[in-house]
Amino acid sequence: MSPSMTPKKKLFEQFARVAKSLASSNRLELLEALAQGERSVDALAQATGMSVANTSHHLQILRDSGLAESRKEGLQVIYRLSDDQIPVLLGSISRIAEKHLAEVDRIVREHFDVRDTLTPVGRSELLARVKDGGAMVIDVRPAAEYQAGHIPGAVNIPIDELPHHLEALPQGQEIVAYCRGPYCMLAFDAVATLRQAGYQARRLEDGFPEWKAESFPVDTGTPDAEP
């Protein structure tokens, strides 16, 4: 960096470091995984299908750019997002891409919109319906992600276990499913399974990270009772 650069240009150089770290589909996927809760390098490698070495490399870039933080836990290195607003940043990127990139619009229409034509449930609407008992909420992410943080009152039924819990779900009450974000297929699969079994079901408009980023209430741990 040239010493003659203006303070504004120096700032833009640093902003560019953050933007450059986002210019990788692997790192964007890692950020989505970290938005569910802190995880070890091994767990992140498993979640994203990358090698441990490649995962560690990308995580170091995210840490150096200020988007992730790490700590040691025995022999494991545990990573977490540095800021709860990072999902908001990722959401802005995706919305701009959907609006202005024809290929993104095509992928969303062909692989997401066709899976569910009903309007998803908004966050404020869901919060109100949960308070008045108008809906049951299910979190279809893996148990570890649910325990790290979830919507208050949501019941954790991982997607692969959902068929075994159908008979325990209430009839005559809408069921709202959510997972990791707007492009997570788990909620789409859950809604399809529920509707096929005769339940009234819809998806949350996005996922848990967006819920948390908007400062909606969050619980952690495992409830005493589940269906």
Q: Give the per-residue pLDDT at 225.
A: 42
**In the sheet that 39-40 helps form, which strands lie side by side, from edge to edge?**
39-40, 76-81, 68-73
The one catalytic residue among 31, 44, 154, 179: 179
Residue 179 known to be catalytic = yes
**Do residues 218 and 150 lie in contact, with contact meaning Cβ atoms separated by under 8 Å?**
yes
Looking at residue 2, its pLDDT comes to 63
What per-residue confidence (pLDDT) applies to 3? 66
What's residue 115's pLDDT? 82
* Spatial separation of the C-alpha atoms in residues 179 and 208, rounded to whole Å: 6
Instruction: Assess if CATH 3.40.50.11690 describes domain 113-213.
Output: no
Which three-class secondary structure state does DSSP give residue 199? coil
CA distance 198 to 190: 13
Predicted structure pTM score: 0.86
Does residue 41 contact residue 79 with C-beta atoms inside 8 Å?
yes
Domain limits, the chain: 7-86, 113-213
Please give the class, per CATH, of domain 7-86. mainly alpha
Residues in the chain where the model's pLDDT stays below 70 = 1-3, 223-227
